[in-house]
Structures are given as structure tokens and as C-alpha cells.
Amino acid sequence: MRNSLLATGINGLVGSKFKNDFSDSYQFDSLDISDPQNRVDITDINQVMAAFEASKARYVLHLAAYTDVTGAWNQRGDKNGLAYKVNVTGTQNIVSACREHNVHLIHISTAYVFDGTKETLYTENDTVHPIEWYGETKALAEEVVTNSAIDWTILRIDQPFRSDSFPRQDIAHRIISGLETATLYPQFTNHFFGPTFIDDFAKVIDWVIRTKTTGLFNASSGEKWSDFAFAQAVAKQIGSTTSIKPGNLDEYLKTLDRPYQKNTAMDTSKLQSKLDFSLRDIASALSEVTSN
């Protein structure tokens, strides 16, 4: 029998993969702003409460977010802007509904809560210090969750990519397209991140529910890649011979008016010491990526 699972953002880049891979395990009670029959906007507390009221689920997977980092930067400081309303007010509403209905919250967060100045991997003990508005709203959302009295799990990810393609392209598929059309921008040799393989991350979400795990976890791959090395690995995987130009983040930043984290790679040993399965390394994950 499938368990009911409340979910926000389940049709996005990350959520739709989880929904696809775990449709045999869960019956999704979705809070979906694009559903013409039952539109639920998480910034509206009454709509959120009604959706929780109608569900028997004991868990909510909260993925919905305003994820356009540049769009968020253009709204910086604006608490009436969509980025703040979706990421902070939306999360406050989900937390209130969890409290009212005794539901465990699985909140998806980001490495952009960090400032990106650390050279080594960020751990769960590092202080959050966002440097742009998207990261700030996501850090405030984390605060709302951690200050609440509900059961919660926070999973932080970074630059997620999946094996199959999705209309909103992930980092691996953007590189594939760029290589195939010879339009790939120079790839920074001095910008670092911790790619997250969504196929495995979907299993992490299921593991949280199966094991009732609570707490804060970095849930990317635990690896640190430069943009240039990652693009080269993608090119190798698809057998592309298109040359990849090295880029310099410091030069690029001179042309940009918004701050940019130089390193968002995270240490995942806390998570990996508890999981009952292994996360694939990024080289193996890339071998599963298809271009269509």
C-alpha cells in the first residue's frame, strides 16, 4: 500500500524525479500552484491549511521555492517580492500547517546559505552567511524550520542534475546542449561546487521517510568540482570532442552586479555515515546521464 505524502514543488526539476522514481511507494497530495483543478499557492496560509486538512499524510516534502537567483537579486531587501514570499512566508505557512496537523517537515535547502569563501568543504557546523537574496531567503527559511517545535529534517543540495533530461535544464544537460551546439561558455577553473545527483537524492528523501530521520544534513555528493573539470567529465561521457575554453570567475565578477559564491561544495559525511545505501560518485553518476 502506498503512503500518502504531502508535497510542494513536486513538478520541478528535483521533485518530478522523486515523484517519477517513487510513485509505487507514495500517493502524492500535492500543493501545486499550476494545478488548474486544485491550485495551491504556498504563500496563502488558508490554501496551505486546507491542503493539509484534506490529507492523511504524516510527512510533507517541501521543495517549492523561488529558484531564480538573478531574479531574486533584483528583489533584494524586498519582503513583498516573490522570492521572499515563496521562500520565507511559504515556509512559515508550511511550518504552521505541520504544527497544526502534526506533520514531519522535510525541507529542501541550498549550499547558497554559505558565503562561498571557505576553500574546503562546508559542514553542518559552519555558520550560514548568505551573500545574495536567494541565499538569504533560503537561510531565513532554514531558521523558520529550526526554530519551530515540529519534527523536521533539512537536506541541503547544490547544483542538482539528473540522469534524464527535464524542460528546465540542469547543469549537466546545459553543458551537453552547449557542447552539441558549440555554444558552451568558457568554464571557470576557479569556481567550485558540489554536484548533487538527483537520482540518488530521491533515494535520500525516501530514506528520511523510511527511517524517520530528523536533523540538518548536507546532501550533495560530498565532492568538490570546478566548472571546468565538471564540463570536461560531461564531454568525456558523451564522447564530445568540442574544445572547452577555461574561464576566470574573477574576470567574470567584474562584469556582474550580484555577488557569487566561489565554493559551495559540502561535506556529506554526516549523511553518508547514516544512510543504508551508498551515494554514487559523480563520475559514475555522469555515466547514467542521457542527453534526451
Ligand X SMILES: NC(=O)c1ccc[n+]([C@@H]2O[C@H](COP(=O)([O-])OP(=O)(O)OC[C@H]3O[C@@H](n4cnc5c(N)ncnc54)[C@H](OP(=O)(O)O)[C@@H]3O)[C@@H](O)[C@H]2O)c1
Q: What does the binding site for ligand X look like in residue numbers (CB under 6 A)?
A: 8-9, 11-15, 31-34, 41-43, 63-65, 67, 86, 90, 108, 110, 138, 157-160, 168
Question: At closest approach, how far in Å is the CB of 290 from ligand X?
Answer: 19
Q: Give the whole-angstrom CA distance, residue 133 versus residue 222.
A: 25
User: Which residue, 13 or 179, has its beta carbon nearer to ligand X?
Assistant: 13
Question: At closest approach, how far in Å is the CB of 111 from ligand X?
Answer: 7
- Which residue has the CB atom at the shortest distance from ligand X? 12
Indicate the angle between helix axes 90-101 and 45-53, nearest 10 degrees: 30
Question: At closest approach, how far in Å is the CB of 55 from ligand X?
Answer: 15
CB 94 within 8 A of CB 60: yes
- Secondary structure in 3-state letters for 92-137: HHHHHHHHHHCCEEEEEEEHHHCCCCCCCCECCCCCCCCCCHHHHH
Residue-wise DSSP of 153-200: EEEEE-SEE-SS--SS--HHHHHHHHHHTT-PPPEESS-EE--EEHHH
Chain centroid to Cα 57, Å, comes to 22
User: Which residue, 144 or 242, has its beta carbon nearer to ligand X?
Assistant: 144
User: Which residue, 31 or 95, has its beta carbon nearer to ligand X?
Assistant: 31
User: Which residue, 31 or 184, has its beta carbon nearer to ligand X?
Assistant: 31
CA gyration radius for the chain? 19
Q: Which amino acid is at 204?
A: V
Q: Give the whole-angstrom CA distance, residue 127 versus residue 15.
A: 27
User: Which residue, 115 or 254, has its beta carbon nearer to ligand X?
Assistant: 115
Question: At closest approach, how far in Å is the CB of 229 from ligand X?
Answer: 18
Question: At closest approach, how far in Å is the CB of 74 from ligand X?
Answer: 17
User: Which residue, 64 or 184, has its beta carbon nearer to ligand X?
Assistant: 64
User: Which residue, 134 or 228, has its beta carbon nearer to ligand X?
Assistant: 134
3-state helix, strand, coil in the chain (%, to 5): 40, 15, 45
Question: At closest approach, how far in Å is the CB of 1 from ligand X?
Answer: 27
Question: At closest approach, how far in Å is the CB of 27 from ligand X?
Answer: 18
